[in-house]
Each structure stands twice: as structure tokens, then as C-alpha cells.
Amino acid sequence: MDRIRIVGGHALEGSIAISGAKNAALPLMIASLLTPDTLTLENIPRVADVGMLLQILSHHGVDYSVDGRRPGEEPHASRTLHLSARNIVDTSAPYDLVAKMRASFWVIAPLVARMGEARVSLPGGCAIGTRPVDLLIMVLEKLGANVEIESGYVRATAKNGLIGGEIHFPKVTVGGTHTALMAAALAKGHTLITNAACEPEVADVADCLVKMGARIKGIGQPTLEIEGVGSLHGASHSVVPDRIEAGTYAMAVAMAGGDVVLERAVPDHLESALDAISQAGATITVTNQGIRVRRNGAGISPVDISTAPYPGFPTDLQAQFMALMTKAKGKSRITETIFENRFMHVQELARFGAQIKLDGDIAHVKGVAELQGAPVMATDLRASVSLVIAALAARGETMVNRVYHLDRGFERLEQKLSGCGAVVERISGAS
């Protein structure tokens, strides 16, 4: 199993190209099931979850081809996927596939919408809380599907097609909103969605569905209206840049010091996180290339944050910000409101010498003058990269184990960091 070795104490200087957003790429790939025509997706990140989802889509009969990097392109150029679901050969998604990545459960919506039936295993994925699928099931029932749960599988049928309806989410849910958009696009009649997720990745999926012929109003707003159409057609769409990757590298620069341009990053998608990073002592500048982040060696200031649905502080950046706060000059408070078990990185950060106390959904962080490198173990995707951020500023060597979590969501992380002066390398096949 691969490991990543990091020697801390080196400022970051240069530029990092931000990849396409994994959290948009995955539902966009799933949306290919809605049409028999080819869906072309550009700016697909080279991450493990994409490869895993291609296997799952292949199981359903989706043919695909991949355009790789061409001569003269930058080293981190992402890929273009061509997906064709002309013939769906299986409307069942077995446990051994779905258990590997919970986002694959979302195939249930386009399968029911287009084929009238689906049988999908209850999902697995990161162990950061139960993250139940009850709201996704509610969506299908509101649109006229008959849903049964048996032997660990969700079976949904709508033999005469889905029917438009009113869907109100009791809490903001990204997965539920993706499900509702895909299902309602082919449902007969009008669908109203209230308290919808407003994340840029959700808007990106909606924009692509419109290119495919869907009729959606209110994109980017908490109220969405969809007029169902009889069929969708192929389209070409470029995935939005990854705001979580951009925020992660911004925090890495704030932690290690230096001056880095995050190319293609969209500042409007990161306002709450950039504000917190600025309060911590980094200088944020919007440029024609993206976002420039600088910290010239001045100390890190403590900042209290609370995660919230977009446009609030992203839960997917909470672990990274906690790593930054471990070296702040004072005490900070981090409140996690989205997932109940998303503090698993605390024990590993403590191995660096961090001082963190947990009180329910609040982490109290007392900054220390120095972190010390240590062997640490990744527990989930975002927790993994928080350990990398801590290691960049720690004295001595850190070995991050179980980096397959990192590979699920970060494209060529060690190359991007080492290109800016970090001492970081992958050790392949280490036990």
C-alpha cells in the first residue's frame, strides 16, 4: 500500500492548476444514464473515484472512451470522457460495486426515470456519519415511484414513468438535490423543489442537464422548478473547477507560508473559506489566473468557524482548517454541523503535538508553537489531506499511511505540492 513522505518546513512558491470538481464530475457521469446519446464531459479529474464509477456505469451498459493528455499540454491537464448509455443492460447495482462509493447510489434516479425500474444496494463510502438515503427515497416516492427496501437493496419502480410533484427537503441535501434534478428531468409534468442545495457542483449538474434538453428554472437558488421532457439528448460540458481542492491548497499555503497562484480557482465559490483564511493571516488576491494566496512568515491567528451548507463554510474543508488552527497563536473553536462523525482526524493531528479537545460537535483547538513530524494514518478523504497540511509545517519527517483515501479525491497531490517547493514523495507499495 502506498504512503506519502513529507519533510516539513518548506514554504510553497509557484502555481497549482486546480482540477475539475470530483463532486460535480461524479453526478455528471451518472447523468449519462438519462440519454441514449453521447454525453461528453471535459475537465474530468484523474482521481480514483472516477475510475470506480466508470466500472459501475459499465456494469449498466455504458460505453465510454477517454481522451488523455496530448503533447504540449500541461502535466496536470485533466481528461475528457465520452459516455454513451445507448443500451442499458442492467438496472441493478450490486452491493460489491455500490459499497465502494456511496455516490454510486445516485444511479437509482436516472435508471427509474428512463427505464422505469432500478434495484440498487444501500451504499457504503466514507465512514463520516450515517448519511442516510431516506431523503433520496422520499424524492422518488414524491415523483410517483413505488419504493421497497429488502435484503439491503432499494427497489424502485415506475412502470408508467415518473410524475412531477412537490419536493420539500427538511434539511439541505446535495445528494437529494442531485437525485431530484435527474428524476424530475424526465418526469411527466411540473416539479417544484424547495430547500434545494445551492452548491456550485449542484448548479453545474443542472447546467449540464439544461444542455441535454432539461427545462430547469432557478439554478443556483434554493427553489427549483422543472418541467419534465420526454427525452434528453447528448451534450458537451466542462466540469466546474474544484473549490474544495482550491480551498485545501489555500490552507496549505497559509500553513507552510509562501506565495502560490491557484490557477482556474473560482473565488465566488469559496467566499466563506477565503474569508476565514484571510482572518488567519494570509493575503488573498483575485487575479486573472485565479486566486493568489500569500503568507510571508507572520503568525497564524485563531479563527472560529462553523460548517454550514453553501454558501457557508464547507464541511469538506473543516479538517484542513483544523490543521491550520493547530499552529494559531491562541484558541479557536470549530463547530461541525453537517456530519456527526467528522472529527476522526483529531487523533491523528494529536500525533503531531496538536492540542485539540472535543465537546460534542465542537472542537476546541489550542495552537502550539511547533508541530513535530510523525507517522499518521488517513481515515477518510478530507481527513487525509489535513494530515498533509499539518506535515508541511511540522518539524522533521511525516509518513502518511493509507493514502488511497487521498487518491479518491485529489489529483496528483504530491506532484502539485512538490512543484511548489514542498519536500513530498510517494513511496509505492510500502506496507
DSSP helix/strand/coil, 5: strand
Rounded to an integer, what distance in angstroms lies between the CA atom of residue 331 and that of residue 366?
Answer: 4
Q: Consult the annotation and say whether 268 binds a ligand.
A: no
Q: Consult the annotation and say whether 317 binds a ligand.
A: no
Exactly one of 126, 198, 208, 420 is catalytic; which is it? 126
DSSP symbol at 160:
T
Q: Is the dihedral of CA 357, 369, 348, 351 positive or negative?
A: negative
Establish whether 126 is a catalytic residue: yes
The amino acid at 378: A
Rounded to an integer, what distance in angstroms lies between the CA atom of residue 126 and that of residue 376?
Answer: 18
Q: Consult the annotation and say whether 292 binds a ligand.
A: no
Q: Consult the annotation and say whether 30 binds a ligand.
A: no
Residues contacting 391, CB < 8 A, separation 6+ = 6, 8, 352, 373, 376, 398, 400
Q: Consult the annotation and say whether 132 binds a ligand.
A: yes
Q: Consult the annotation and say whether 155 binds a ligand.
A: no
Q: Quote the longest CA-to-CA distance of the chain.
A: 65
Rounded to an integer, what distance in angstroms lies between the CA atom of residue 215 and that of residue 190?
Answer: 10
Residues contacting 285, CB < 8 A, separation 6+ = 291, 292, 294
Rounded to an integer, what distance in angstroms lies between the CA atom of residue 20 and that of residue 355?
Answer: 35
Give the DSSP H/E element, type plus range, for residue 284: strand 283-286
Residue with cell 442531485: 178
Q: Consult the annotation and say whether 133 binds a ligand.
A: yes
Strand positions, DSSP E, 116-173 = 117-121, 146-150, 153-157, 166-168
Do the beta carbons of residue 97 and residue 124 sit within 8 Å? no
Q: Consult the annotation and say whether 110 binds a ligand.
A: no
Do the beta carbons of residue 252 and residue 12 sit within 8 Å? yes
292: cell is 493568489
Q: Consult the annotation and say whether 338 binds a ligand.
A: yes
Q: Consult the annotation and say whether 142 binds a ligand.
A: no
DSSP symbol at 231:
-
Rounded to an integer, what distance in angstroms lies between the CA atom of residue 33 and that of residue 24?
Answer: 15
Phi-psi region of 283 (alpha: psi -120 to 50; beta: other; left: phi over 0): beta
Binding-site annotation: residue ranges for UDP-N-acetyl-alpha-D-glucosamine: 102, 131-135, 316, 338
- Residues making up the annotated binding site for phosphoenolpyruvate are 22-23
Q: Which residues are catalytic?
A: 126
Would you list which residues are annotated within the binding site? Answer: 22-23, 102, 131-135, 316, 338
